[in-house]
Structure 1
Amino acid sequence: MAEKNMIIALVLSIIWSGLGLIYAGDIQKGIILAVLAIIAELIFLFVSAIFGIVVFIIWVYSLYATYQEVKAVNGE
């Protein structure tokens, strides 16, 4: 697999949880995180503001997982 650019991957994850993982090649985990983020954001918007914390946690985990995946793909 070709090397992936860390900055591009992290920017994609900042834009939307899971996109960086999809770019890095872990498509299944990326889609799961993206769907979880959508569900958490909908609950946050329409049910309970406390889910803002869950959205933030998913976002931070997505950044961490993207960082680890890109390092693994690049052999670092």
Structure 2
Amino acid sequence: MIFSLNNYIDMITEVKSINKTDGQTLLHAFGSLEKILNSSNKQLSVCPGLGTLKGQRLYQAFNQPFKR
């Protein structure tokens, strides 16, 4: 399955308080969804427009195990 840029943005915006502009900014800054997923809390937090709270929420969403 091939995903478009909008598909990646939709995935990222599932995290509370992350909007489409944030998703676009993240993909532009990091270059790929894989790099975003492998980023540290600090790397996400310093992305323009995100800040500490959004960076922390993203990091937690990507690094917490799924509930069973």
Band the TM-score falls in, shorter-chain normalisation = 0.3 to 0.5
Per the normalisation by structure 2, the TM-score is: 0.32
Query: Would you tell me which structure has more helix in proportion to its own residues?
Result: 1
Bigger radius of gyration: 1
The higher-RCO structure (CA 8 Å, 6+ apart) is 1
Taking structure 1 as the reference length, the TM-score comes to 0.30
